[in-house]
Structure 1
Amino acid sequence: MKEDPILTNLITELKRGTLTLCVLSQLTEPQYGYSLLQVLCDKQIAIEANTLYPLLRRLESQGLLQSSWDTSEARPRKFYALSDKGRSLLSDLAAAWREQTSQIATLLEEESHA
């Protein structure tokens, strides 16, 4: 079956728009990058390291995440967790997501009955 490049691009855009919410939702407890990558993949959220790490740095620079280094192991790891601002934003973003998905579901339901 041949993939439609327009559909592929639209799906990529849709996923890109939701990755921030996905990442923030998994940082209520501290995680280091690779463990976060594994958690997301285990939950069927496809994200690559070269997408995740810049996103983490951007969210930290926006004040939504705080980070700390754990040097107790042989390999130092940078842990990320939600800041207070990040917790508040996650709550607001999740509410906006629920509202938008409800509205879209209503539109799609109307379409299927048309």
Structure 2
Amino acid sequence: MKIAQVSKEKKVSIDSLRYYERIGLLPPVKRIAGSTRDYSEQDLRWLDLVIAVRSAGLSLEPLIDYVQLCGAGSHTVPARRDLWVDECDLLEEKIQALQATLAQLRGKADHYEALLKGEN
């Protein structure tokens, strides 16, 4: 799949796709006709992971490490597992913080709803 089609389907700019590959978030994408990128299904799965990590607000550096670990071979499986365990822990902390914020904001909304109903 060419870069323009990937950009459209995944809603990621072409510049971002090139950047992700340049900094190591994506393994090198196969080229056809010299310089045209040809994204495989595996490349698209990598991109889906990048999109998920970004949307969760997690740091991209561990993902770069992960790409390098995967390229280094199967002896890095324990390190890959540890990386994702750590990222899951960070995400759980973020979720707990967001839930606390949500509860606080709902409390505010409920307070003003009660005021509007004259319940004090």
Q: Quick check: TM above 0.5?
A: no
TM-score scaled to structure 1, two decimals? 0.36
**Between Structure 1 and Structure 2, which shows a larger proportion of strand residues?**
1
Larger RCO (CA under 8 A, 6+ residues apart): 1
Larger radius of gyration: 2
**Between Structure 1 and Structure 2, which shows a larger proportion of helix residues?**
2
TM-score scaled to structure 2, two decimals? 0.34
